Amino acid sequence: MKDVKKSPFLREMCKTVSNMYRLGWDERNGGNVSLLLDENEVAKYLDPKKVKRTIPIGFDAKELAGKIFLVTGTGKYFKNVEDDPENNLGIIRIAPDGVTAELLWGYADGGRFTSELPAHLMSHIARLKVNPKNRVVMHCHPVNLLSMTFIHSLDEREFTRSLWRTCTECMVVFPDGIGVLPWMLCGTPEIGIATAEKMNDFRLVVWAQHGIYGAGADLDETFGLIETAEKGAEIYMKTLPYPILQTITDEDLKVIAKAFNVTYKEGWVD
């Protein structure tokens, strides 16, 4: 059996959350990430019959029964993950009953997965129905996207269009737009359900005055998705105090979409 600490999926998770912390997206223990793992890949590193303990999920995830996830721990600081992955991360399998997680590795100090796991699993269920290749759900607190939610309309179309106009890459990277939720209390079933509903139409969902949820095929893609939206928000916030002399127009957006062969939401470009 190979050393799980040297597995590509664990090393990539450590690298990703370290970068999220470095960029200021995940202060203290803010933010969480879950990665749906390939069963056969996991079997190279762990014996799936050896369950260390079981942990209640707090949500019926029967649709994901048997699925294995690598998940950040609750109360854990992303800055510590790379040096001590076994305490800060865990590999869990959704039990057949759907309401219990079987711990296969990690949370060695007696900890458990993020309190946002139900919201993650709801979003995984939604995204897998839209695109079976979507295996990552990532939550963080990018400063500029949060700042925008204080001063910008929370209308999804207008919020997205403001970002599309900041730089060419925004239309290219998230032509499907950004879902937006008003402020809601985090860690509740309500915000998980609301986020999952948005995930039927969007890979990015902003939580006003809190953060963002992103979904993608792998850690790189999901990180890059959030990174691009945050860059657009940074440009928006930096230019906001000044007169705008030129911008990317709707005709320009159509040119971008055609050139990069991406499809934007109908009616979102005039």
Active site positions, annotated: 116
**Rg over CA atoms, the chain:** 19
From the number of C-beta atoms within 10 Å of its C-beta (0-12, 13-18, 19+), residue 31 rates as: buried
Q: What is the DSSP letter of 38?
A: P
Residue 257 sits at φ, ψ, to 5 deg, of: -60, -40
Q: What is the DSSP string of 64-98?
A: GTT-EEEEEBTT--GGGTTT-HHHHEEEEEE-TTS
- Decide: 135 and 99 in contact? Cβ < 8 Å: no
Contacts 24+ apart (CB under 8 A), 84-93: 85/5, 85/10, 85/13, 85/14, 86/5, 87/111, 89/10, 89/13, 89/14, 91/4, 91/37, 91/42, 91/46, 92/55, 92/68, 93/48, 93/51, 93/66, 93/67, 93/68, 93/69
Q: What is the DSSP letter of 113?
A: B
